[in-house]
Amino acid sequence: MYSKLHRPKKNGLGMSDNSSSCVKLAHYLNKESGSGKYFFSQYQDCVSLTEVIQKIDNNKKTLKNNQDKFYMLSYNPSQREISHLIREVTGKDNVLALSSLTDKEVEMVIAEFKNYVRDCMDIYAKNFNRDKNLSSEDLVWFGRVETERHHTYLDEEVKDGVKSRGDLKEGLQLHAHVVVSRMDVTQTMSLSPLAKSMGNVNILNGKAVKNGFSMKGWQVGCFQHFSNKYGYIATTDERFYYYHSSYSSYKNRIQNKIIREV
Assign 17 a pLDDT band (cuts: 50, 70, 90): confident
If one compares 12 and 163, the residue with the highest pLDDT of the two is 163
Cβ neighbours of 60 (radius 10 Å): 21
Task: Give residue 32's pLDDT.
Answer: 64
Query: Is residue 134 scored above 50 in pLDDT?
Result: yes
pLDDT, averaged across the chain = 86
**Per-position DSSP letters for 123-185, written without gaps between them:** HHHHTB--SS---GGG--EEEEEE---B--TTSHHHHTTSS-TTPBPPS---EEEEEEESB-T
Task: Give residue 209's pLDDT.
Answer: 55
Q: Each residue of 137-180: pLDDT tens digit?
A: 999 999 999 999 999 888 888 888 989 999 999 999 999 999 99
Q: Each residue of 66-109: pLDDT tens digit?
A: 999 999 999 999 999 999 999 999 999 999 999 999 999 999 99
User: Whole-model pTM above 0.95?
Assistant: no
